[in-house]
Amino acid sequence: MYQPFNEFQIELRELVRNFTRKEITTEVAHEWDEKNQHPKALVTKMRKELGINGLCIPEEYGGMGCGSVEQCIITEEMSRGCLGITLCFGYTGLGMLPILKGASKEQATKWLEPVISGDHGISFCLSEPGAGSDAPGMKTTATKKGDVYIVNGTKAWVTGGGDADAYTVFAYTDKNRGNRGVSCFYVPRETPGITLGKKEDKFGIRASDTRQIIFEDVEVPKANLIGRENMGFVYALLTLNTSRPYIAAMGAGVMQAALDHSAKYAREREQFGQTIASFQAIQHMLADMSISLETAREITYRAARMSDAGDPNLAKFAAIAKAYSGEAAVKCAMDAVQIFGGYGYTKEYPVEKLVRDAKILCIFEGTTQIQKNEIATYAIKESASSKN
Ligand SMILES: Cc1cc2nc3c(=O)[nH]c(=O)nc-3n(C[C@H](O)[C@H](O)[C@H](O)COP(=O)(O)OP(=O)(O)OC[C@H]3O[C@@H](n4cnc5c(N)ncnc54)[C@H](O)[C@@H]3O)c2cc1C
């Protein structure tokens, strides 16, 4: 039988699948969506009981030394339960990536130890109110003054912002050099001068705490400069290339949930004296969902394997995986609502939440349009260098 995963990966999938089935039920997902709150106790349980906080952290820093494939496996499984709660647990997976990309061994060991023990979360602070797709349009600055940098600016849309214990913050250290003048800093939350903005009242992933983080004359020691000065934008791009397959895995998890709910409902709901599963129109929607899900899985795990192998074409495939899986997840979730009919349009049933949650996959970590820009750049470059 076709089996894309090794024994360890299958065990890992079972561990997270079983935890999700027990702890992130439809009722729990609905409760935190309604409350519009970060489920602190549940996240603590995930951090302390699952034992996977250090999954993708190299062994030399005290982690488990796994890679993107394993990260995608756990992300897909959790997302079947609730995408919002997945992000409450998983925001550190993004926030710590600049450390993995740029920090010295000494820095990484120190900052990642509390992540591995499950005591710390780290949020990723790149976007700003006026700089989303155009990240180099950021205004935040870090001005060197003796042994410290003084950071000023406002970061927007910070996932996990209200829960995090530290932030990886991108700021200009040399505005004249454009994106080659951006540096990245590790900034503990208790540093004086940091204020939390109010939690955004979002369409979906409502459990996930998203907010602005405001930096006013925040003194960051030189020792907290991640890697080298003016290399921050490189670390940001490397981070996003690594994390985009994780977003694609979230899409696969949402699609699996949409298919699970829809197929079960179609087998149970009767109209015209027969189950709606007997109508070909419904069967075709289920078939389309299956096609999208399996296609998304293939491209997601391909990108993850390329990431683990250090493949130079990762950026193209990470963008394809994210663009495809995000858009397909929205379509699948919409089809699930259609299969549920009027009931699907209410909060009594789980599928309207899937639509609201899935939409973020087309927006954060680079919108679908930005992924397509990247993919098109490859297509044009490849055409120019081909002999045809
Ligand atoms: C819930 C949520 C969580 C987030 N979490 C984080 C986080 O943890 N850390 C972080 O740093 N950021 C985070 N973000 C920010 C996210 O990455 C940005 O929202 C995203 O990059 C889009 O930026 P924008 O919202 O400013 O939209 P804009 O950049 O203003 O885009 C608006 C529209 O214009 C299109 N567009 C823009 N430029 C182009 C172009 N060149 N070509 C074609 N179309 C274009 C876009 O695709 C979009 O449709 C989060 C956002 C949300 C909503």
| DSSP secondary structure of 243-285 | HHHHHHHHHHHHHHHHHHHHHHHHHH-EETTEEGGGSHHHHHH
Q: What pLDDT score does 46 carry?
A: 98
pLDDT digits (tens, 9 = 90+) for 231-290: 999 999 999 999 999 999 999 999 999 999 999 999 999 999 999 999 999 999 999 999
What average pLDDT does the segment 366-379 reach?
Answer: 98
Place of tokens 């495939």: 317
What average pLDDT does the segment 132-136 reach?
Answer: 97
Q: What percent of the chain has pLDDT over 90?
A: 99
247 CB near ligand 1 (under 6 Å):
no
Give residues with Cβ within 8 angstroms of 102, minimum separation 6: 184, 226, 227, 228, 231, 232, 234, 235
Residue nearest ligand 1's atom 45 by CA = 369
pTM beyond 0.95: the answer is yes
154 CB near ligand 1 (under 6 Å):
no
Sequence-ordered strand ranges (E) for 36-93? none
CA of 142 to the centre of ligand 1 (A): 23
CA of 163 to the centre of ligand 1 (A): 22
Q: What pLDDT score does 386 carry?
A: 87
pLDDT digits (tens, 9 = 90+) for 204-231: 999 999 999 999 999 999 999 999 999 9
Checking phi first, is residue 350 left (phi over 0); if not, alpha (psi -120 to 50) or beta? alpha
Residue from 87, 91, 127, 196 to probe ligand 1 pocket by mutation (most atoms less than 8 Å from CB): 127
- The answer to whether 154 touches 132, Cβ cutoff 8 Å, is no
Residue from 157, 237, 362 to probe ligand 1 pocket by mutation (most atoms less than 8 Å from CB): 157
Q: At what angle do helices 68-81 and 7-23 cross, to 10 degrees?
A: 20
Residue nearest ligand 1's atom 40 by CA = 370
pLDDT digits (tens, 9 = 90+) for 37-64: 999 999 999 999 999 999 999 999 999 9
Which residues face 270 on adjacent strands? 275
| Band of pLDDT at residue 387, cut at 50, 70 and 90 | confident
Q: What percent of the chain has pLDDT over 70?
A: 100
For residue 183, with 0-12 CB atoms within 10 Å meaning exposed, 13-18 middle and 19 or more buried, which class applies? buried
The atom number, within ligand 1, closest to the CA of 202 reads 1
The domains found in the chain, sorted by start residue, are 7-116 (1.10.540.10), 122-231 (2.40.110.10), 233-385 (1.20.140.10)
Which residues does the annotation mark as catalytic?
A: 365
